[in-house]
Amino acid sequence: MVEQITPQQALERQEAGAVILDVRETDEFAAGHATGAVNIPLSELQSRLGDVPDADDLLIICQAGGRSQQAALWLDQQGVAAANVSGGTFAWASEGLPVD
């Protein structure tokens, strides 16, 4: 089962060294994303598995939490542990957390 975390928990974990992987499409990412996030669109994730950051704490985010949940489940099947940021960048921005 994939761990579900809030945007605030994600920020705290990022500050402690976690990596945020944004799985939205590139144009969505360019329009605004959690500060410091890395972008690999869900549509490219399988072909770019080698590009997934090698992090002790990997947090997956999308717009609202659906695509990131799919990505986290798939990564788990590949042996890569990851947590899902519930509510996605919509919730992240709504909570006033840092956005680029």
Catalytic residue numbers, as ranges:
62
- Per the document, the length of the chain is 100
Angle at 59 between CA 85 and CA 78, to 5 degrees: 115
> Tokens 């976690």 sit at which residue?
18
Stretch (H or E) spanning 12: helix 7-15
